[in-house]
């Protein structure tokens, strides 16, 4: 399949008054349509920077990020942040409709779409709730629905469940799996959890410590549709062990 | 209960009881603080009666002071004399006429001040160089008491409405300016990134993000500004004018009509209170999402 997203020798350096802090170094990979890619790596290896470059929120200081031959900022992205990042003055429904409003207006199709998404993320009955009244997991599900409402070309998830407790986190992982299997999007997701990555992804990219560059590009050949029980299968364990080994062999930054 | 109490040995229970005694009996200040706290909770439940009761007590004390020391009306009129004078001024139309003048000055000054301060504040919040260049002048302008500049403004703009509106504007300007800057600066960076990732235009960023996010702090500034604007108008009228509530106070003072001074002061208090609570109402209507402002209790 023709790749939809290309990273070519991407380098990014943040100015810090001391020659700059290099976050990414000569990173190259590409992502095919409807592919689910997970990015793993030690903290501070530039994973979030990478996602920001893919979203067009930053421009790389070297190399190129191309979306269908265009600069990355031209793509319609759905971004899910580490925290839910909802607007506290908008209700759940209004938060989910925000991307449509910014794109020019909400029509009946948009409203139906929002209702379907609220159903999909399991928040029926909470349309008129304020974000302050939601639990962490519910707020993050609103954020996922908001990222999907405008039918984005690519979905970028930045440790979306990092702020949740371990039990909620596992549940949200399988929820995301269910949502993704219902609406196949191109996804790039940054995570800290190996089992989350193996369960969800078609491919796992492992970055080295700063400056981040590609250490491992591992295909996850588990069959789809995937279910929660696969976490306990032998293949799953083998893949998780391989990736764990690859990360352990990386030097400390 | 039985199972739980069995787990305490007699020794432990004695220690517990003595700690309890120490806590309840010995530290009197703690009991006092606790008592005051309970009183406040009870008073808050019956706020109307609290206000009514204290007002009645104040009136009785006032009447008693005037009575016991046999003070003449031009030093301290009794509440009844003030009420009578208030009624008379209300009926002959003078109070309403002067109130309307002050109200016009306050509303015009408030509108102009809020308008200028919001625009300037937004600009300064967005541009660090502009803020660094202009803030010394803005702070210096605040260091000057308004009474000191008021005569100048009256010399330049006459003793009519314009000079009072201008004084009002200047009084209101600073708190609104500061709160606009603080409010816009406090817009979370993460939400800015969100609207940026959705390709929002600057106008959309303003409408969908900056205005609603800065609104609580901005309205806090408006509360201060609304009450200050009354002070601004009265200061202007004191320095030089032939109408308005400040003028009316001056008239009362000149004629030893102290009851009129009191009646006018009460009118000013009513004006300031109604402006203040208009802003509070505005907060209740626009900030329903915010727990600190919403009236309904939530789980």
pLDDT at B6 (0 to 100): 47
pLDDT at B297 > cutoff 60: no
Contact A132 B289 (CB under 8 A): yes
CA B161 – CA B140 distance, rounded (Å): 26
Looking at chain B, the domain(s) classified CATH 1.10.3720.10 span 79-286
pLDDT at A153 (0 to 100): 86
- Least confidently predicted of A136-145, B12-21, B87-96: B12-21
Contact A132 B197 (CB under 8 A): no
Q: Which residues of A touch B190 (CB under 8 A)?
A: 81, 83, 85
Contact B212 A89 (CB under 8 A): yes
Q: Chain B: nearest CA to A101, how far in angstroms?
A: 9
Q: Chain B: nearest CA to A100, how far in angstroms?
A: 9
Contact B190 A81 (CB under 8 A): yes
Look at residues A4, A137, A138 and name the one whose alpha carbon lies nearest to residue A77.
A4
Q: Which of B196, B198, B290 sits opposite A99 (nearest CB)?
A: B198
> Residue range B88-94: average pLDDT?
93
B175-232: pLDDT as tens digits: 999 999 999 999 999 999 999 999 899 999 999 999 999 999 999 999 999 999 999 9
Contact A89 B287 (CB under 8 A): yes
pLDDT at B291 (0 to 100): 76
Interface of B with A (CB under 8 A): 190-191, 193-200, 204, 208-209, 212-213, 215, 287, 289-291, 298-299
Contact A90 B299 (CB under 8 A): no
CA B28 – CA B21 distance, rounded (Å): 12
The whole model's pTM is what? 0.82
> Residue range B27-55: average pLDDT?
80
Range with the largest mean pLDDT of A211-215, B14-18, B78-82: B78-82
Look at residues B36, B48, B172 and name the one whose alpha carbon lies nearest to residue B115.
B172
pLDDT at B23 (0 to 100): 56
Q: Which is higher by pLDDT, B245 or B7? A: B245
CATH level 2 (architecture), domain A1-75+156-253: 3-Layer(aba) Sandwich (3.40)
Contact B215 A102 (CB under 8 A): no
Q: Which residues of A touch B204 (CB under 8 A)?
A: 102
pLDDT at B12 (0 to 100): 64
Angle between helices B146-157 and B161-185 (to 10 degrees): 130
* The domain defined by B79-286 carries CATH number 3.20.20.140: no
Neighbours of B52 (CB within 10 A): 11
pLDDT (tens place) for every residue of chain A, 253 residues total: 788 888 889 888 888 877 788 888 888 888 998 899 999 887 777 888 899 899 888 888 888 888 888 888 778 889 999 888 999 999 999 999 999 999 988 889 999 989 988 988 888 999 999 999 999 889 998 998 999 898 888 899 998 888 778 887 888 888 888 888 888 889 999 988 888 888 889 999 998 887 888 888 888 888 888 888 888 888 888 988 988 888 888 776 5
pLDDT at B294 (0 to 100): 65
CA B163 – CA B148 distance, rounded (Å): 14
Q: Chain A: nearest CA to B210, how far in angstroms?
A: 11
Q: Per-residue confidence at B4, pLDDT binned at 50, 70, 90?
A: very low
pLDDT at B5 (0 to 100): 44
Q: Say if A126 is an interface residue toward chain B (CB within 8 Å).
A: no
């Amino acid at each position: 399949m023709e790749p939809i997203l290309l990273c070519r020798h991407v380098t990014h350096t943040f100015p810090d008054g001391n020659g700059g802090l290099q976050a990414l170094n000569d990173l190259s990979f590409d992502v095919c349509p409807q592919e689910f890619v997970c990015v793993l790596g030690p903290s501070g290896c530039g994973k979030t920077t990478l996602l920001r470059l893919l979203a067009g929120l930053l421009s790389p200081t070297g190399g190129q990020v191309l979306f269908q031959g265009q600069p990355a900022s031209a793509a319609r992205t759905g971004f899910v942040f580490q925290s839910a990042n909802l607007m506290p003055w908008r209700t759940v429904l209004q938060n989910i409709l925000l991307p449509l409003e910014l794109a020019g207006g909400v029509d009946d199709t948009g409203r139906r779409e929002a209702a379907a998404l609220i159903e999909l993320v399991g928040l029926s009955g909470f349309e008129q709730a304020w974000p302050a009244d939601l639990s962490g997991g519910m707020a993050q599900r609103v954020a996922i629905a908001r990222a999907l409402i405008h039918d984005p070309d690519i979905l970028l998830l930045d440790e979306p469940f990092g702020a949740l407790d371990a039990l909620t986190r596992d549940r949200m992982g399988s929820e995301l799996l269910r949502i993704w299997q219902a609406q196949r999007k191109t996804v790039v997701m940054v995570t800290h959890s190996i089992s989350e990555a193996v369960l969800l992804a078609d491919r796992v990219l492992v970055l080295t410590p700063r400056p981040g560059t590609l250490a491992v590009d591992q295909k996850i050949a588990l069959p789809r549709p995937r279910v929660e029980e696969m976490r306990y299968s032998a293949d799953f364990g083998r893949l998780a062990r391989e990736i764990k080994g690859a990360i352990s062999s990386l030097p400390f930054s | 209960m039985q199972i739980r109490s069995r787990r305490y040995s007699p020794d432990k229970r004695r220690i517990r009881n003595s700690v309890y005694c120490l806590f309840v009996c010995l530290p009197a200040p703690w009991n006092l603080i606790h008592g005051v706290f309970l009183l406040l909770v009870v008073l808050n439940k019956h706020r109307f009666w609290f206000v009514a009761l204290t007002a009645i007590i104040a009136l009785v004390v006032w009447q008693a002071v005037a009575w016991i020391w046999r003070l003449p009306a031009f030093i301290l009129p009794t509440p009844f004399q003030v009420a009578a004078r208030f009624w008379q001024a209300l009926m002959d139309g003078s109070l309403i006429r002067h109130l309307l003048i002050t109200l016009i000055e306050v509303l015009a000054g408030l509108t102009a001040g809020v308008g200028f301060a919001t625009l300037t504040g937004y600009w300064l919040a967005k541009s660090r160089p502009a803020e660094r260049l202009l803030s010394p002048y803005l702070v210096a302008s605040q260091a000057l008491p308004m009474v000191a500049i008021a005569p100048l403004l009256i010399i330049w703009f006459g003793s009519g409405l314009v000079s009072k509106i201008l004084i009002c504007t200047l009084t209101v300007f600073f708190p609104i300016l500061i709160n606009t800057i603080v409010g816009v600066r406090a817009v979370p960076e993460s939400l800015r990134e969100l609207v940026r990732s959705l390709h929002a235009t600057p106008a959309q960023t303003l409408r969908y993000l900056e205005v609603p996010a800065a609104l609580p702090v901005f309205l806090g500034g408006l509360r201060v500004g609304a009450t200050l604007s009354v002070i601004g108008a009265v200061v202007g009228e004191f320095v030089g004018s032939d109408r308005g509530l400040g003028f009316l106070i001056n008239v009362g003072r000149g004629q030893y009509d102290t009851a009129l001074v009191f009646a006018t002061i009460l009118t000013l208090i009513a004006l300031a209170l109604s402006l203040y609570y208009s802003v509070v109402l505005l907060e209740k209507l626009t900030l329903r999402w915010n727990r600190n402002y919403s009236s309904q209790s939530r789980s």
